[in-house]
Amino acid sequence: MTSESFDSPRPRVYAHRGASAAFAEHTRAAYLKAIADGADGVECDVHLTRDQHVVLLHDATLDRTSNGTGTVADKTLEELRALDFSSWKGARIPEAYGGISDQFLTLPELLDILRGADREIGLAIELKHPSPYQLKLEERVLDLLAAEGWTPMDSRVDNIQVSFMSFDTDSVQRLLEDVPAGHVCQLVDNFTVQELRDELGLGPITAGAVANVLKAAQQEAERVLDEGEAGIAGPGIDYVREHARNVQRWLDAGRIFRVWTVDSEKDVALCQGLGIHEITTNRPAQVLAQLSVPSR
């Protein structure tokens, strides 16, 4: 079993991109706040820069979370460091969490922050695809971690328990060549044509075509979990609600469950009732407070 030890009476709480309800996602402030909130672990998304540095960003483009534009893969690390990745959130950053220029992070910098927690803490790394560098992303992440002292069998770096995640099944299969299944999470979600139209502004024909591609990816992800190739199941909370049979089957088969993104009291209660092992949330302090109250 395992991305971690699961003898805890409550689900473990992972901070989604850090405490990202409080501070801009993936920033130094968000991760320091998550540690201060008592999160059991943190989650991050990674991309490769043009000069092959592993950086923490969700989107393949810069427009949403910075004052820059263009794609991450086309920028050097130096170019990214010149951008502001925190002001868009509108949250005042405490002096102890650094200035605006300190907020952008590489993966090694996040490891240093987590070492500073001075306690056991989890790190869930999501490898983002499609990537123009394809599976070189996985190889670069694994090489970087090995240089930091990571060893595959226990998947640890000092006080940090590392696990890996992707929606992309090719990414998961590449990771499984070097990482035990108990530390690899196959992410899975369900998509509808209407959701794609609403979220991406697509027409019905284009949205239908995209939905067919995503549906095929979803089915392949479900196969990976059905066959136990990955030891951790990573469904979205909507998937948990809408695919109860799959969830129960995978739980019965011993898959560890890491559900995202769980922010409401109702969804936290649902996960707790189902026996979900790990909850990923933008609001770690709030979720931890709810989980600390004995159920009646």
47 is an active site residue: no
Joined tokens for residue 110: 């996040």
Quick one: 95 exposed, middle or buried, by C-beta within 10 A (0-12, 13-18, 19+)?
exposed
> Which helix (H) or strand (E) segment is 188 a member of?
strand 184-188
Helix ranges (H only) for the chain are 28-37, 77-81, 107-115, 136-147, 169-176, 193-200, 204-226, 237-242, 244-252, 265-274, 284-291
Q: For 121-156, give one letter per residue: b (16+ CB within 10 A) or e.
A: bbbbbbbbbebebebebbebbbebbeebebeeeebb
Alpha-carbon gap, residue 168 to 134, rounded angstroms? 11
Cβ contacts of 18 within 8 Å, gap of 6 or more: 25, 26, 27, 29, 30, 31, 33, 34, 42, 44
16 is an active site residue: yes
Joined tokens for residue 80: 């990214």
User: Looking at 58, 129, 183, 277, which residue is catalytic?
Assistant: 58
- The residue count for the chain: 296
Give residue 277's Cα distance to chain centre.
Answer: 15
Q: Is 37 helix (H, G, I), strand (E, B) or coil?
A: helix
User: Looking at 16, 26, 129, 243, which residue is catalytic?
Assistant: 16
Q: What are phi and psi of 133, to 5 degrees?
A: -95, 0
Cβ contacts of 296 within 8 Å, gap of 6 or more: none
Cβ contacts of 219 within 8 Å, gap of 6 or more: none
> What is the set of active-site residues?
16, 58
